[in-house]
Amino acid sequence: MIKVIIFDFQDVLVNDWRDVFDSNLHIKPGVVAKFFDDHNDLRKEMQYGRLSEDEFWKQFIRFTDADVTVDQLKDAVRKTLQPSPEVMGIVKSLKPSYKLAILSNFTREWMHHLVKEYKLDEIFDDMFWSFDNEIKKPLPEAYTQVTEKFNVRPEECLLIDDKERNTKGAENAGMKTILYTNPEKLKKELSEMQIKLWTICA
| 169 and 151 within one domain | yes
Give 127-161 pLDDT, tens digit per residue: 999 888 888 999 999 999 999 999 999 999 999 99
| 54 and 10 within one domain | no
Q: What is the mean pLDDT of residues 5-21?
A: 83
Say if residue 65's pLDDT is above 60. yes
Q: Provide the CATH number for the domain around residue 107.
A: 3.40.50.1000
How many C-beta atoms lie closer than 10 Å to residue 38's C-beta?
A: 11
Amino acid 47: pLDDT: 86
| 28 and 59 within one domain | yes
Going by C-alpha positions, the residue among 83, 73, 82, 59 that lies closest to residue 22 is 73
Q: What is the mean pLDDT of residues 18-37?
A: 76
Amino acid 201: pLDDT: 42
Give 90-104 pLDDT, tens digit per residue: 999 999 999 999 999
Distances (CA, A) of 48 to 27, 99, 112, 137: 27, 26, 15, 12
| 128 and 48 within one domain | no
Residue ending a domain, among 80, 108, 124, is 80
| 55 and 92 within one domain | no
Residue 132 identity (one-letter amino acid): D
**pTM of this structure:** 0.88
The residue segments making up the domain with residue 177 are: 4-15+83-192
Which strands make up the sheet holding 157-161, listed edge to edge?
126-129, 99-104, 4-7, 157-161, 176-179
Q: What is the mean pLDDT of residues 168-184?
A: 97
- Indicate the DSSP class of residue 127: E
Q: pLDDT > 90: what percent of the chain?
A: 59
Longest dimension (CA), the chain: 53
Question: pLDDT category, 200, cuts 50, 70, 90?
Answer: low
